[in-house]
Amino acid sequence: MVNYRTKIKKINMSEISIAIHGGAGTLVKGTMTSEKELAYKSALKLALDAGYSILEKGASSIQAVEAAVKVLEDSHLFNAGKGSVFTAEGTHEMDASIMDGDTLNAGAVSLVSGIKNPISLAKDVMEKSEHVFLAGEGALIFAKENGYEQTPPNYFFDEFRHQQWLEIKDTDSFQLDHATKKDSKFGTVGAVACDKNGNVAAATSTGGMTNKKWGRVGDSPMIGAGNYANNETCAISCTGSGEFFIRGVVAYDVSCLMEHKNYALEKAEDEVINKGILKIKGDGGLMAVDAKGIISMPFNTEGMYRACKSSKGREEVLIYK
């Protein structure tokens, strides 16, 4: 059988493309104003352009996804970095992961506090340690040894997020971005890209869920669940109900369908997002790009903050279906 990657490399070596998301937990349609919509779309566009310009200069997909995710982490609009939700203790615990589809190298961090850009820390775990996944205190020691400063808690304070937490603070409930009741802003962030050499990469970063406790970790930092990249198939960044995405091994499942069943990207994604994950009642979506630069952005929720751009001329910044 012809290997998927060999097939696509022969067709095109130079298509560049990037797709980013700001989470599948969008504001419900009725509560979206034109000002808010503009703010979200401008933030997405900024991140998209940051990543795309790196690809245009001929740099790697890993550099592009890191740059795009950093812009999203620096915005208070999304649930990652600066805009991270509050834990049950009133703190912020962030998770992030990154993967290089060329080498299958990966790096991830979870339960980190005071780190402005967790995605860069995940990249440093990949590049500067012998490990893949560092968590909590240990990850912070690694960060310190690699020159990261502790950013004070007020940097991560957002009044809206705070109110969101106060509403459920003394209860046992937690607020997942994808709960149907939501009328608030939400959104794990992520990016996938294909560079001019046909190398793909994926990056995902999140604050998790409001009022989370016991060191809860979702799918976002878990390689194979919320994030995965393999040049033989595609790069994927997920957003959704983390517990279900972990059980569905969503990102790797898409890749597996392509690798072992020879599915095209869109067919594999449809199978996972609109069939597989729904069977266990998981909601959310994903961003994916294959080594031909083909982008797909499926979701089974009302909307997903998303944007994409390719050298073939595709450019979109969207929120709802």
Residue 220 near ligand ASP by CB under 6 A: yes
Residue 219 near ligand ASP by CB under 6 A: yes
From the list 28-36, 147-155, 215-223, 298-306, the region that binds ligand ASP by CB under 6 A is 215-223
What tokens were used for 61? 């997909």
Q: Which residue lies nearer to ligand ASP by CB, 23 or 101? A: 23
List Cβ neighbours of 133 (8 Å cut-off, separation of 6 or more).
97, 107, 108, 109, 110, 125, 221, 223
Q: Which residue lies nearer to ligand ASP by CB, 120 or 175? A: 175
Q: Which residue lies nearer to ligand ASP by CB, 198 or 242? A: 242
Least distance to ligand ASP, CB of residue 126, Å: 20
From the list 47-55, 65-73, 205-213, 306-314, the region that binds ligand ASP by CB under 6 A is 205-213
Tell me the sheet residues that pair with 109.
96, 134
Q: Which residue lies nearer to ligand ASP by CB, 25 or 118? A: 25
Least distance to ligand ASP, CB of residue 105, Å: 22
What tokens were used for 201? 């990469």
What tokens were used for 256? 């597996």
Amino acid at the residue 192: V
Least distance to ligand ASP, CB of residue 93, Å: 10
Residues 231-290 interacting with ligand ASP (rule: CB under 6 A)? 239-240, 242
- Is 188 annotated in the active site? yes
Least distance to ligand ASP, CB of residue 32, Å: 17
Binding mask 73-92 for ligand ASP (x = CB under 6 A): ------x-------------
Catalytic residue among 188, 206, 210, 233: 188
Distance CA 179, CA 133 (A): 28
Q: Where does residue 144 rank: exposed (0-12), middle (13-18), buried (19+ CB within 10 A)?
A: exposed
What tokens were used for 54? 């790196």
Cα separation of the two ends of the chain: 37
CA atoms within 13 A on the CB side of 96: 33
Residue 134 φ/ψ, nearest 5 degrees: -115, 140
Find tokens 């790797």 and name the residue. Answer: 252
Residue 208 near ligand ASP by CB under 6 A: yes
Residues 16-35 interacting with ligand ASP (rule: CB under 6 A)? 23, 25
Q: CA angle, 151 as apex, 150 and 153 as ends, to 5°?
A: 115
159-to-82, 85, 174 alpha-carbon distances in Å: 12, 11, 18
Q: How many residues of this chain interact with ligand ASP, rule: CB under 6 A?
A: 16
From the list 108-116, 138-146, 212-220, 251-259, the region that binds ligand ASP by CB under 6 A is 212-220
**For 148-243, where are the E strands, in sequence order?**
189-194, 200-206, 227-229, 234-240
Residues lying near ligand ASP in the complex (CB under 6 A): 23, 25, 79, 177, 186, 188, 206, 208-209, 218-220, 226, 239-240, 242
The set of catalytic residues is 188
